[in-house]
Structure 1
Amino acid sequence: MSPMNLSPLKGLDRTAVLTAVAVISGVITVILDTTIVSVALHELADELSVPVSTIQWVSTAYLLALGTVIPTTSWLQAKVGGKRLWMIALSVFMAGSVLCSLAWNAPSLIAFRVVQGMGGGVMMPLMMTMVAQAAPQRDMARLMSIVSIPAALGPILGPVLGGFILGNASWHWLFLVNAPVGLIGLFLAWKLIPASEPEKGARLDVVGLLMLSPALVAILWGLSNVSGETGFADPLVFLPVGAGVALLVAFALWSRRRGAKALVHLDVLKSRPTLVASGMMFLFGASLFGGLTLLPLYFQDLRGADALGAGMLLIPQGVGSLVSRFFAGRLIDGIGARLTALMGFSLITLATVPFAMADGETSMQLLSVALFFRGMGIGTVVVPVMSSAFTELERNEVPHASIIIRVCQQVGGAMGVALVAVILTTVTQSSGSSATGFGTAFGWVIGFAVLGIGVALALPGRRRAEETAPA
């Protein structure tokens, strides 16, 4: 191994590293906020004197806001420039956080979560775009492994920080804690991200926006309405999902007609690495979020943990995901994105098996070890997908690919959560056994990961990646 490979930063392009540091410092607020709020939903319901079904809109409203703004990211970047847009989006997220901390009842909190979602929805795809545009292809794998670190830290720090705040301060600090972190992120973005000029003549595809944003909102809202009692037969599920799919088809036809002037240029999917990465992120989202839905429920229903305790029991998964970031980039450099992704999905598959076979007496030590390796698999999948998705694209095509990949992960995650929720409830009721219900639901999570293995086979190998990389 050469000396250059001994450090994750050594030898990397300086501008790309500074950009990565700046976006990491900002996006950590978004990821931490998501995990903190998910732990605190029951406490928020009690504090605001509303049922859990109402406070669940704190998460749903945020999700729908993401679906609304994600498609606009490419146009916004062209209109105002990447650096300026990043600082605006982070400022909007911070403003939403402060407003959430000042909320006086559940409706006001839900409304202010929409403001947060509008900022966070721009930041997530923009983060990938800015790093991909700044990084030479030779540095992409190691930089993406660094940029994805916040996603690993969130599940580790979020439950701990959320529990600490709830135990020592009022719930308002769950949101106000974002302010100082966000201010650091703004300062670093101002100092470290190179300025980029807006593109002349950037016009908003209004017709495309009126198709794509409502399509995503309808699909995400419909899937969020899935319940164990009625499943997908509920009109509040199949009507919005059906309408959303119809709008997506209409947008695809419109985008083909508009070409590069479309809100999201779907021709980027003609690049095999981009197409494969999008499919992988859909299945990865289903496996990741389906598992994240089942795991805390398993620890609460079968092992007697409370919400905070269940979050703490998930820490080994976050640690495994964090550890994987330190070798995934070098692994891709050594054996290629395809084999790395295959290893990651295989780890997710094998490490989820103990949960599919678990009951209320299964060794917690065994499950903790399984969670650690599941986390390693999660981290090992993300990096090759993010690093290979843009290899055959021009600079101006990268924002469109980032949006598509983010949308695929979001919709895949919503679908995975909806499916496992229905399966868990249905099987538990029919069998009279919670353990059987969890076992079957975890089996579906395993199935998503197995499908991911099949899709990963289409990723470019090391030799092809080297041939397609720009000189």
Structure 2
Amino acid sequence: MSSEWPDNDKLDAGVLKVAGVVVLGAIMAILDTTVVNVALQKLTLEFQTSFDTIQWVATGYMLALATVIPVTGWASDRFGTKRLYMIAIALFLVGSMLAGLSWNVESLIIFRVLQGFGGGMLMPAGMTIMTRAAGPQRVGRVMAVLGVPMLLGPIGGPILGGYLVDAVSWRWIFYINVPIGIITILLAWRLLPKDAPEPAERFDFWGMLMVSPGLAALLYGVSNVPAAGGVGSVDVWLPGLAGIVLLVAFVLRTLKVPNPLMDLKLFTNRTFAVSMATMSLFCVAFFGAMLLLPTYFLLVRGESALTAGLLLAPQGIGAMLTMPVGGQLADRIGVRKIVLPGIVLMLAGLIAFTQVSATTPYWQLMAALFVMGLGMGCTMMPITTAALQTLTPADMARASTATNIVQQTAGAIGSAVMSIILAALLAGKFEVPTSQGQLAATAAIMNPQTHAVATGLAADAFGTTFLWSLVLLALCAVPALLLPAKRPSLPEGHEAPQPVVMH
């Protein structure tokens, strides 16, 4: 065993096999997220519900991810990352099967939450397995290896989902996970490195009772704004306030106890803290916008789900082109020099959607999506790289957990906030209660006598919502200016990683 992390660029066969298994699990989770976004309009009509209710199919999943992620660090030690990874896949499969069997919107949301519990453990466990196998100096290259196949989800997910929704049934957007999951479990058992459970620190049960319900209550309160008609409703401020109180209590307690659920001392590392601030703003803006894009094509332009999925493909293609280069350059020349140009590219692409109308040429929108994809490939993975590069191996599992908490929580907040803004704007345009905005817009657009006016009004609402996303993305550049401008040196105290032992 070497006395230090490998410093060459080459990823050996053992690491690549581990990456392949982790990629399959990641594709399953990402595929499901993107498939559901394309299906939201169909589900709204299928269950005869409102936009503020159906968006919980997406938001509830992300909320469940954020809720269960804090457990992953402790569970990785207690059960071993390989065993935890396989349990997460199995739980995700059960949730997928039940979601496909849903009989009403309430049951669908509940089963999506169950899916989220599996997905929440799946992603950080996979990242922990990979970072331990490769070492911090090759994190960027590992992220590049993971990133390119993972883009099959954003590219193929909307297309596959659109086809299934149009030609088969919405239920198959969940059933499709079953064969992928079975293959992943078998390969994980066969190929992932052996890691025996280690004596785990005492589990922070009280911290769990604070942070998970706190996150859930805060996001629930925020997501209730459309139905409640404002922040003054008890359904909004009461769970929101309860969530804030629980999260504040969690932070105060975490700073005092010896073995906290989430190690907030990681944020004393300047690079890690700056990376997380950048990631937070980025995910709020980006995931919020991504939830709205397929709805624009379906509602305003009247496209089928399959066509909407095809129209979203340029973004994934753009990201596929830049993500491998971004990962390598982040290792070599510094994260800041990659992330800032990436943010500029995303802003340039998003500007086109702030000016969107009911007749904007598709070539303009697809070009804008391609530019946004180019920017995305230069941002998300390099930001994650910056967060992990300066940490010691002992901190990797907890840091991966914290990184995923930030990503999923910010993404859930972004989806909820953008849904709230769009619902309020649609309600104002069509002069109906906030919770009825999308249904009123759909009815008016389907009426030939009001179609032209209704599509124009709906497009205006989308354009204004995208403007909010643009502002949040622009603010992301502020902490990004503080990201490392050059490749960091290995921190003192790095130890050799455990050898990757293959079955």
The 1:50–1:449 alpha-carbon spacing in structure 2 relative to 1, beyond 3 Å, is closer
Which stretch of the first structure deviates more once superposed, 182-191 or 393-402? 393-402
Which stretch of the first structure deviates more once superposed, 327-336 or 347-356? 327-336
Q: Distance in 1 between matches of 2:249 and 2:407?
A: 21
Map of 2:368 onto structure 1: 370
Q: Distance in 1 between matches of 2:337 and 2:17?
A: 29
**Matches of residues 42-441 of structure 1 in structure 2 within 5 Å?**
42-44=41-43, 55-149=54-148, 151-227=150-226, 230-259=229-258, 261-426=259-424, 433-441=457-465
How much does 1:337 deviate? 0.9
Q: Distance in 1 between matches of 2:422 and 2:168?
A: 35
How much does 1:357 deviate? 2.3
The 1:220–1:178 alpha-carbon spacing in structure 2 relative to 1, beyond 3 Å, is same
Which stretch of the first structure deviates more once superposed, 27-36 or 97-106? 97-106
SS at match of 1:466: coil
Matching of residue 17 in structure 1 with residue 10 in structure 2: no
How much does 1:47 deviate? 5.1
The 1:367–1:56 alpha-carbon spacing in structure 2 relative to 1, beyond 3 Å, is closer
Q: What TM-score comes out, normalization by structure 1 length?
A: 0.89
Q: Distance in 2 between matches of 1:218 and 1:150?
A: 35
Q: Kindly indicate whether the alpha-carbon contact (under 8 Å) linking 1:296 and 1:310 is maintained by their aligned counterparts in 2.
A: yes
Which stretch of the first structure deviates more once superposed, 50-59 or 278-287? 50-59
Which stretch of the first structure deviates more once superposed, 445-454 or 228-237? 228-237
Q: Distance in 1 between matches of 2:299 and 2:166?
A: 23
Matching of residue 40 in structure 1 with residue 39 in structure 2: yes
Which stretch of the first structure deviates more once superposed, 104-113 or 66-75? 104-113
Deviation track 1:4-46 (CA, whole Å, cap 9, x = no partner) reads: xxxxx97114433222211111121111112222322343455
Higher relative contact order (CA 8 A, sep 6+): 2
How much does 1:137 deviate? 2.5
Map of 1:5 onto structure 2: none
Q: Distance in 1 between matches of 2:79 and 2:367?
A: 47
Consecutive unaligned residues of structure 1, counting only runs of 5 or more, are 1-8
Map of 2:442 onto structure 1: none
Q: Kindly indicate whether the alpha-carbon contact (under 8 Å) linking 2:272 and 2:386 is maintained by their aligned counterparts in 1.
A: yes
Q: Kindly indicate whether the alpha-carbon contact (under 8 Å) linking 2:221 and 2:240 is maintained by their aligned counterparts in 1.
A: yes
Q: Distance in 1 between matches of 2:366 and 2:150?
A: 19
Consecutive unaligned residues of structure 2, counting only runs of 5 or more, are 1-7, 431-456, 496-503
The 1:290–1:102 alpha-carbon spacing in structure 2 relative to 1, beyond 3 Å, is closer
Length, aligned pairs only: 461
Q: Distance in 1 between matches of 2:470 and 2:52?
A: 29
Q: Kindly indicate whether the alpha-carbon contact (under 8 Å) linking 2:52 and 2:423 is maintained by their aligned counterparts in 1.
A: no
Map of 2:438 onto structure 1: none
Deviation track 1:356-396 (CA, whole Å, cap 9, x = no partner) reads: 22323333212211100101111210121121211222323
Q: Kindly indicate whether the alpha-carbon contact (under 8 Å) linking 2:263 and 2:398 is maintained by their aligned counterparts in 1.
A: yes
How much does 1:301 deviate? 4.4
Q: Kindly indicate whether the alpha-carbon contact (under 8 Å) linking 1:142 and 1:328 is maintained by their aligned counterparts in 2.
A: no
Map of 2:449 onto structure 1: none
Q: Which amino acid aligns with 2:139?
A: M
Deviation track 1:62-105 (CA, whole Å, cap 9, x = no partner) reads: 33422331111111111001111101111111122223334455
How much does 1:60 deviate? 4.2
Q: Distance in 1 between matches of 2:92 and 2:261?
A: 23
Q: Kindly indicate whether the alpha-carbon contact (under 8 Å) linking 2:390 and 2:490 is maintained by their aligned counterparts in 1.
A: no
Q: Distance in 1 between matches of 2:30 and 2:465?
A: 26
Q: Which amino acid aligns with 2:358?
A: G
Which stretch of the first structure deviates more once superposed, 263-272 or 355-364? 355-364
Q: Distance in 1 between matches of 2:407 and 2:385?
A: 16
Q: Distance in 1 between matches of 2:423 and 2:106?
A: 29
Q: Kindly indicate whether the alpha-carbon contact (under 8 Å) linking 1:73 and 1:122 is maintained by their aligned counterparts in 2.
A: yes
Q: Which amino acid aligns with 2:413?
A: M
Q: Kindly indicate whether the alpha-carbon contact (under 8 Å) linking 1:283 and 1:409 is maintained by their aligned counterparts in 2.
A: no
Which stretch of the first structure deviates more once superposed, 220-229 or 28-37? 220-229
Map of 2:471 onto structure 1: 447
How much does 1:109 deviate? 3.5
Q: Which amino acid aligns with 2:97?
A: V
The 1:22–1:209 alpha-carbon spacing in structure 2 relative to 1, beyond 3 Å, is same
The 1:460–1:56 alpha-carbon spacing in structure 2 relative to 1, beyond 3 Å, is closer
How much does 1:56 deviate? 4.5
Q: What TM-score comes out, normalization by structure 2 length?
A: 0.84
How much does 1:307 deviate? 4.3
SS at match of 1:148: helix
From 478, 481, 486, the equivalent of 1:457 is: 481
Deviation track 1:107-158 (CA, whole Å, cap 9, x = no partner) reads: 4443332321211111122222222222122311111122233552222111
Map of 1:4 onto structure 2: none
Deviation track 1:396-452 (CA, whole Å, cap 9, x = no partner) reads: 322222222222222322333344344445556668854543333222212222221
Identity %: 40
Deviation track 1:160-217 (CA, whole Å, cap 9, x = no partner) reads: 2122223443443222221111122112212221111212143211110110111111
Which stretch of the first structure deviates more once superposed, 159-168 or 371-380? 159-168
